[in-house]
């Protein structure tokens, strides 16, 4: 039976794997049958064996660990450097992962700045909402309604991302009163009228939360009646 181009191409493709003994049994048997029926292909087999032996004997003078390190360094340098704001915020806009198609992870400086802004806003609202002495005297007889806001202590899991943490706190309308501590605890204030039990149930069911509990709120002013 005459040899076809497809057989020659298959022989050339499988021969290197046959020589390094990584070919499956059916393909190895086919190579051996081809060699027995085509003696002129023996010289190609010998050449491939010689090439394989020469390659095996060639040893690089550079250790493998050093070669891998240089390869990783070259790969890292070939990547485009992100903009300064993405490095500061820790935002990676080139990799999908979030609901909008991007993965966002706020770095430690950005998270600290965000907490500072929230705390400053809370302090400013508290200052601007305080009545003056004359206004307080005018309404002193009516008394000040006392509705203490609930306070919670929340511990996030170590693998929780800062951006996801802030989104969760915003969803329950919680304000950061203090923290985070060395153990990662945050003290939260809920808006007046909010159900602490409902918010606790929502937080405890979230996979980002490790622990959540209600604690005593700050002491009220003497004007509370």
Tokens of 126: 């508290």
Identify the weakest region by mean pLDDT among 52-56, 157-161, 219-223: 219-223
What is the phi/psi pair of residue 210, to 5°? -95, -35
Please state, in angstroms and as integers, the Cα–Cα distance from residue 201 to each residue in 155, 195, 197, 204, 209, following that order.
Answer: 14, 10, 6, 5, 11
Preceding peptide of 38 cis, ω within 30° = no
Token pair 């003290």 in the structure block, residue? 187
What does the domain layout of the chain look like in residue ranges?
A: 5-57, 108-127+146-215
**What does pTM read for this prediction?**
0.33
Predicted confidence (pLDDT) at residue 97 exceeds the cutoff of 50: no
pLDDT tens for each residue of 51-62: 878 777 665 566
Q: Could you give the CA distance from residue 92 to residue 149 in angstroms, rounded to a whole number?
A: 38
The answer to whether the CB of 208 falls within 8 A of the CB of 162 is: no
Q: What is the mean pLDDT of residues 144-163?
A: 73
To which CATH superfamily is domain 108-127+146-215 assigned? Peptidase S8 propeptide/proteinase inhibitor I9 (3.30.70.80)
pLDDT tens for each residue of 181-212: 766 777 888 877 778 888 888 888 888 888 88
pLDDT tens for each residue of 104-140: 455 555 666 666 667 666 666 665 555 555 544 444 4
What is the phi/psi pair of residue 154, to 5°? -120, 135
Q: What is the mean pLDDT of residues 148-152?
A: 71
The kind and range of the H/E element at 211 are strand 209-215
Q: Which pLDDT band holds residue 36 (cuts at 50, 70, 90)?
A: very high
Would you put residue 173 in left (φ > 0), alpha (ψ -120 to 50) or beta? left
Q: Could you give the CA distance from residue 90 to residue 72 in angstroms, rounded to a whole number?
A: 22
Arithmetic mean of pLDDT over the chain: 72
SS3 202: helix
The kind and range of the H/E element at 185 are strand 185-189
Token pair 């039976």 in the structure block, residue? 1
Q: Could you give the CA distance from residue 122 to residue 117 in angstroms, rounded to a whole number?
A: 9
Q: What is the mean pLDDT of residues 74-103?
A: 56
* Of 203, 140, 133, 194, residue with least CA distance to 168: 203
């Amino acid at each position: 039976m005459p040899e076809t181009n497809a057989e020659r191409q298959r022989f050339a493709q499988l021969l290197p794997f046959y020589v390094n003994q990584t070919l499956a049994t059916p393909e190895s048997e086919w190579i051996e049958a081809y060699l027995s029926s085509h003696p002129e292909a023996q010289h190609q087999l010998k050449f491939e064996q010689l090439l394989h032996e020469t390659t095996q004997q060639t040893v690089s003078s550079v250790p493998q660990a050093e070669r891998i390190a240089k390869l990783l360094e070259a790969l890292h340098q070939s990547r485009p450097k992100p903009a300064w704001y993405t490095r500061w915020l820790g935002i990676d806009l080139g990799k999908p992962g979030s609901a909008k198609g991007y993965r966002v992870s706020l770095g430690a400086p950005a998270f600290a700045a965000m907490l500072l802004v929230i705390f400053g806003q809370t302090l400013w609202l508290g200052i601007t909402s305080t009545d003056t002495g004359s206004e307080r005297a005018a309404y002193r007889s009516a008394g000040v309604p006392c509705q203490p806001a609930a306070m919670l202590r929340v511990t996030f899991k170590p693998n929780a991302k800062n951006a996801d943490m802030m989104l969760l706190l915003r969803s329950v309308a919680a304000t950061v009163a203090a923290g985070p501590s060395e153990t990662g605890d945050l003290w939260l204030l809920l808006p007046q009228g909010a159900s602490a039990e409902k918010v606790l149930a929502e937080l405890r069911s979230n996979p980002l939360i490790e622990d959540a509990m209600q604690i005593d709120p700050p002491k009220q002013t003497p004007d509370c009646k």
